[in-house]
Amino acid sequence: MTSRSTEKSAAASSATHTATVSKTPSPDRIRRAPKVLLHDHLDGGLRPGTVVELARETGYGDLPETDADLLGTWFRQAADSGSLERYLETFSHTVGVMQTRDALVRVAAECAEDLAEDGVVYAEVRYAPEQHLEKGLTLEEVVEAVNEGFREGERRARENGHRIRVGALLTAMRHAARSLEIAELANRYRDLGVVGFDIAGAEAGYPPTRHLDAFEYLKRENNHFTIHAGEAFGLPSIWQALQWCGADRLGHGVRIIDDIQVHEDGSVKLGRLASYVRDKRIPLELCPSSNLQTGAADSYADHPIGLLRRLHFRATVNTDNRLMSHTSMSREFEHLVEAFGYTLDDMQWFSVNAMKSAFIPFDERLAMINDVIKPGYAELKSEWLFQQTASTSGSSESEG
């Protein structure tokens, strides 16, 4: 081979490597990409500084730390400890400072602001109104305060050059007996900022079938609901959520992987439940960082989302609890990009999946996909294209 041929071969190899590296989205592009979030808990996403300030203002005296940085570290360490008691304790502190109208407005507004700053254009944020009544608020006052906060956060985001729409999901606790009452509350506020219903809490011992009256009511009212299922308890939880309760989406649903066999030759066989979930395009609200904390996977590279994406399940990417998992939508995608080599095309696929699965009217979902999400990714990909063109042009000139 001549030296000229060798140079051309080396240049081609270098160009291929550069193209591969360049298609990997940078943290900045990941942050700027329009993202859609379906599974985020309001009481799991407070700013540590806000927790400290609200504790002082409301007289809450049980915080383990009163310095914002130290408190943020405590939340992360407690969530990572492997102790269910310590993990649940983290929520006792955030809920503990969310017992007044002003606190709820502030937390909701900051939630919308933080998500918008992270490039989220549509979010459904859930919370349990029944957990915010300790200082005399009514269920209705809780909902109205949170809705006011979300609208204020959307307004502040616009002022800062970001666009976001936030819908609320009202959650009932599985171990309590107020699910029908909360479902009726969600229905009353469905045109006033509340987009659906959810149940949450420990799965083991508290099956979704305990709340059939709430789900039957919501179905009669043509309303939307998701169910926390398949996070810790496994396939029976998923089966009940779908076949008995009629869930529109699965909160987590990561244990559907237990019904999928991957053979040594790489071939895959889906069980009947997994086939049903895929065939019916039932959305999975996957939360990678949270799933690692609860033991659903040992690492991001081992997380079932890789296989579920390859098999074209309706997989979505979510944060769950941003404070406890020290995460954001951008961080979740950064982990997945590193683990699976995902590109902006993959990010767009997840984002469109999520928008298709949102609990707002079809025409509004379609407008978000066609007018916000796809143009946003097209712009980011065009940046890469022009950078590649400039890089290739420079190489040609130097070779000449």
The total of other beta-carbon atoms located within 10 Å of residue 157's CB is: 22
Amino acid at residue number 315? A
Q: Do 194 and 143 contact (CB within 8 A), yes or no? A: yes
Q: Do 270 and 303 contact (CB within 8 A), yes or no? A: no
Decide if 379 is catalytic. Answer: no
Please work out, in degrees rounded to the nearest 5, the angle formed at the alpha carbon of residue 366 by the alpha carbons of 362 and 370: 175
Instruction: Choose the catalytic residue: 113, 124, 231, 285.
Output: 231
Q: Do 98 and 132 contact (CB within 8 A), yes or no? A: yes
CA–CA distance, 42 with 348 (Å, rounded to integer): 25
> How many helices, marked H, and strands, marked E, lie in the chain?
17, 10
Which residue from 79, 139, 77 is spatially nearest to 295, judged by alpha carbons? 79
Q: Residue 195: enclosing H or E segment and its boundaries?
A: strand 194-200
Which residue from 171, 162, 158 is spatially nearest to 124, judged by alpha carbons? 171
Distances (CA, A) of 73 to 67, 76, 197, 331: 10, 5, 32, 17
The total of other beta-carbon atoms located within 10 Å of residue 286's CB is: 31
Which residue from 173, 175, 182 is spatially nearest to 138, judged by alpha carbons? 182
Structure tokens at 168: 């609320």
DSSP characters for 95-120?
Answer: HHT--SHHHHHHHHHHHHHHHHHTTE
What are the φ and ψ backbone dihedral angles of 267, each rounded to 5 degrees? -70, 155
Structure tokens at 145: 């305060």
Strand order of the sheet with strand 35-41?
35-41, 120-127, 165-173, 194-200, 225-229, 249-252, 284-286, 315-317
Which residue from 192, 197, 188, 63 is spatially nearest to 127, judged by alpha carbons? 197
- Please list the active-site residues: 231
